[in-house]
Structure 1
Amino acid sequence: MSLMAVRFRWGLATTAALALVAILTLAPQWRSLEGMGARRAVVLARPPAEILVGVSWPFSIRRDGMAEGLRLAQDEINQGGLAGGIPVRLVLRDDQGVWAEARRIALDFADTPAMSAVIGYDDIRLALRAAPIFEKSRLLYLLPAVGNPDPGEASSRYAIRTAPSLSSFARALAVAAGRPGESLRFALIWDEDGPGKELATQFLIAQSGMGGNRVFQWPYLTGRADFRASAYRLREIEADLIVIAGPSPDLVDFLRKADGAGLIAPILVIAEPSDALWAQMGTAAWRRAIFPQIYDVAAMTSENRAFVDKFRARFGKDPDAAAAQGYDTLRLLAEAVRTTGSAEPLDLIFALRQSPAWAGAVGEYRFDRQGEVRDRIVRLVPGEVSVTSSRLAPAPASP
């Protein structure tokens, strides 16, 4: 055989091997999502040996308590037989807040026929893009992050929102910021190319309906705003409240510029308070800020006190909102499994949407027909009494 023939055959073999690798790697993307759903229905129709739950979250970026809250709930469920004696197994994946990775994870979960549910996402944009994958593959997806997609934004037959959707959250903010019997004069600043735009729109609609008066507005592009102009412009405007929505670096930049400009109006920062924000803002800017609070670590309900005690004993620190939301979400899923004895997503969804009120660490959970949590109250708290400072509070007394 000639050297040319050997090289030709070697080239064909190499090409075939590479093609096989590509096919195996991309198979979930080429396979029909509907076909994945049909396989799931067959597999999960059998009596379940376990409940398999996928989690897609930016663990390495957020570094919050989501994983800890989920692990704590998983151990309680399995040790106490809280899912009717059926064990829960978690598959935690780090989507890094990037769509390419989140999509790959979503397709892997969709192509796992024994998986009953997915918990995620921290970013509404990822949640919106992943939703069709789960809908078509008949996979229950639970949304524990505040500001998740509204029911009307995507098909939500398989969705359960254990935290307020974006519009619901914005309306709750407007109610919390309202001044009974008075017209609130408010200024709005938001990232035009991010979720802040919809938050600002819904806040404006709700506040206007309550008699509020918008006295200033300024949309900006993420990472490209010169907040000095808006800060000094606001010095000339009589506003009872300044509201800003955007990514953390922009929030920090605005608060610094507002502090330098000597603004005296309170600033509602639509973000979860954290140690990272505290370190970047500085004490003066932090104290001028007001934060929305869905979860109160110091709440004296029996459910929260038990959760906080167990969390502190295991991890040596206070839980944050992500830990509480993750904990409650998995416990809720276990309760649906207990009442139905099923691992099939539609059975679990029906049980969650039709179940009576369930009390968790964050508060009471009741769902409407679209899977949105109802009657979730948002509190506004000053920076100095926010979640970050409360981490230094003494543990609540045992019952």
Structure 2
Amino acid sequence: MKVLNAGALFLLLMTALCGCERRDQSTLVGFIGGLSTKTSDVGVMGRDGTLLAFEEFNLKQGHARNQVELVVYDDAQNPVRGRKAFRDLKEKGAVAVVGPMTSSMCEAIWPLANESVIPIVSPTCSSVVFDGHDDAFFRVYPTCRKAAKKLAAEARGLGLEHVTVLVDLANESFTRYWASQFTDEFTANGHGRVSQVTFHSKQKIDYFTLAQNISGAKPDGVLILANPTDTGLVAQQFAKLGNIPQLLVSEWSLSGDLNRYSGVATGHIIGVQNIHPEQGFSTRPDFYSRFKARFGREPNFAAAFGYDAAQVLLRALTTKGEDESLVDALRKTGQVDGVINQFTMDRLGDVERPVYLVTNKNGELIGI
């Protein structure tokens, strides 16, 4: 494999094995994700899961004209960079994009995909804003609706009456909708109340003051909708204040090394995720071992869903009819044998997956 850096990171798969063939006989696909910011835990894992799927596909295909070339762009969680990446890929002749990894970046690129009819298949976008559209947007990750409602029901069951939601505006397409779904469920039938505090993870953050302001309202629960680093650092401040409320988090917060930053507050966290905490990758130990052998670290949910997104796209590329568009082929995806579980993608590109409540015990996530 060759790795070049010319504004984007080019991963030219299998060219060493097919040096006698021209590269332009292969099919070009892009990957767009955040690889250099606080969201890089998700972006890097999603990229590597995608890369593994493409490498394995190319090994099976063998001949250069059947190869799929992956070009990787870092969107840096910046809409301008994300749109530029998409336009660059379009100019290079890309037929599709895996990514982006966050809802805000998907929202930035979504109109371009529809305008050009170049499909995007997101591994981890979960905002409800993309629900039910007959367009060029597809995803292998369920919307946040079920997860938010499940966590809100758990909060009610714990007897919480006042929850403050901490919203990161840097990924507003995700956090605002997550907060809204949680609030609707938590306050249903006149139960309790929800207040909201916002911050922007791309700006300088005074974590202690942020936690102080939240604590001043005396909530008995705090829902943190942020990346793992910011989630952990905010949680840590509550411990310093000597009063740790019940902490609630989405799967975004669980996507990286949350324990490293949250310290003693770790045991106060309850979250939701789409991977069964005890089963993990037990249904596909082959994926776990292949990923670890290739990249030297354990995969997380973003790696698994990156692999799933790539598999969905590769299947559509190989099964579409001669006169059929790739978008139409993706609409026929149906049932997929995913890394974590089987799922079904409907013709509008939306999926359903199970959601699990988890907490942290002795540094390990366990089911509730």
TM range (shorter): 0.7 to 0.9
**Identity level (%):** 22
- 1:10 — aligned with what? none
2:178 partner letter: L
- 1:280 — aligned with what? 261
Q: Mark the CA change 1:290 to 1:125 in structure 2 (over 3 Å): closer, same or farther.
A: same
In the TM superposition, what whole-angstrom CA distance separates every residue of 1:115-167 from its partner, at most 9, and x where no partner exists?
221011133222112111111111011111243462259x6511111112xxx
Task: Indicate conservation of the 8 Å contact 1:328/1:362, yes or no.
Answer: no
Task: Indicate conservation of the 8 Å contact 2:274/2:356, yes or no.
Answer: yes
Larger-gyration structure (1/2):
1
1:373 partner letter: V
- 1:347 — aligned with what? 328
- 2:191 — aligned with what? 213
* 1:380 matched to 2:361: no
Q: Mark the CA change 1:82 to 1:143 in structure 2 (over 3 Å): closer, same or farther.
A: farther
- 1:60 — aligned with what? 36
Task: Indicate conservation of the 8 Å contact 1:297/1:319, yes or no.
Answer: no
Deviation at 1:383, TM superposition (A): 3.0
Task: Indicate conservation of the 8 Å contact 2:34/2:76, yes or no.
Answer: yes
1:173 partner letter: A
In the TM superposition, what whole-angstrom CA distance separates every residue of 1:182-220 from its partner, at most 9, and x where no partner exists?
5853503232745223211111123344x5833341323
CA distance, structure 2, for counterparts of residue 191 and residue 328 of structure 1? 29
Deviation at 1:299, TM superposition (A): 2.7
* Structure 2 residues not aligned, in runs of 5+: 1-23
Q: Mark the CA change 1:156 to 1:97 in structure 2 (over 3 Å): closer, same or farther.
A: farther
CA distance, structure 2, for counterparts of residue 183 and residue 275 of structure 1? 26
Task: Indicate conservation of the 8 Å contact 1:297/1:308, yes or no.
Answer: no
- 1:157 — aligned with what? 135
* 1:258 matched to 2:238: yes
Task: Indicate conservation of the 8 Å contact 1:358/1:366, yes or no.
Answer: yes
Task: Indicate conservation of the 8 Å contact 2:152/2:183, yes or no.
Answer: no
- 1:28 — aligned with what? none
Q: How does 1:190-209 map to 2 (within 5 A)?
A: 190-191=166-167, 193-194=169-170, 195=172, 196-209=175-188
Task: Indicate conservation of the 8 Å contact 1:308/1:319, yes or no.
Answer: yes
Q: TM-score, normalising length from structure 2?
A: 0.76
2:184 partner letter: I
**Partner residue of 1:144 out of 112, 123, 131:** 123
2:354 partner letter: I
CA RMSD of aligned residues (A): 3.3
Deviation at 1:360, TM superposition (A): 0.9
Deviation at 1:362, TM superposition (A): 2.7
Deviation at 1:382, TM superposition (A): 1.6
The answer to which structure has the higher helix fraction is 1
2:340 partner letter: V
* 1:268 matched to 2:276: no
Q: Mark the CA change 1:360 to 1:58 in structure 2 (over 3 Å): closer, same or farther.
A: same
Task: Indicate conservation of the 8 Å contact 2:280/2:340, yes or no.
Answer: no
Task: Indicate conservation of the 8 Å contact 2:127/2:178, yes or no.
Answer: no
SS in 1 for 2:111: helix
Moved more, 361-370 or 178-187: 178-187
Q: Mark the CA change 1:249 to 1:308 in structure 2 (over 3 Å): closer, same or farther.
A: closer
Deviation at 1:330, TM superposition (A): 0.7
Moved more, 323-332 or 57-66: 57-66
The answer to which structure has the higher strand fraction is 2
2:164 partner letter: L
1:325 partner letter: F
Task: Indicate conservation of the 8 Å contact 2:281/2:340, yes or no.
Answer: no
**Partner residue of 1:175 out of 145, 150, 166:** 150
SS in 1 for 2:81: helix
* 1:130 matched to 2:109: yes
Q: Mark the CA change 1:275 to 1:104 in structure 2 (over 3 Å): closer, same or farther.
A: closer
**Partner residue of 2:97 out of 118, 129, 138:** 118
Task: Indicate conservation of the 8 Å contact 2:163/2:195, yes or no.
Answer: yes
- 2:13 — aligned with what? none
In the TM superposition, what whole-angstrom CA distance separates every residue of 1:320-359 from its partner, at most 9, and x where no partner exists?
122111111111212223332558322322222xx2x212
Q: How does 1:1-399 map to 2 (within 5 A)?
A: 50-61=26-37, 62-63=40-41, 64-81=44-61, 86-113=66-93, 115-148=94-127, 150-151=129-130, 157-164=135-142, 168-179=143-154, 185=160, 187-191=163-167, 193-194=169-170, 195=172, 196-209=175-188, 213-222=191-200, 223=205, 226-234=210-218, 239=220, 241-248=221-228, 250-263=230-243, 265-270=245-250, 271-273=252-254, 276-282=257-263, 284-296=264-276, 299=279, 303-340=283-320, 344-352=325-333, 355=334, 357-374=335-352, 376-384=353-361, 389=364
Q: TM-score, normalising length from structure 1?
A: 0.71
SS in 1 for 2:186: helix
Deviation at 1:232, TM superposition (A): 4.4
Q: How many residues align?
A: 325
- 1:7 — aligned with what? none
Q: Mark the CA change 1:381 to 1:182 in structure 2 (over 3 Å): closer, same or farther.
A: closer
Q: Mark the CA change 1:217 to 1:124 in structure 2 (over 3 Å): closer, same or farther.
A: same
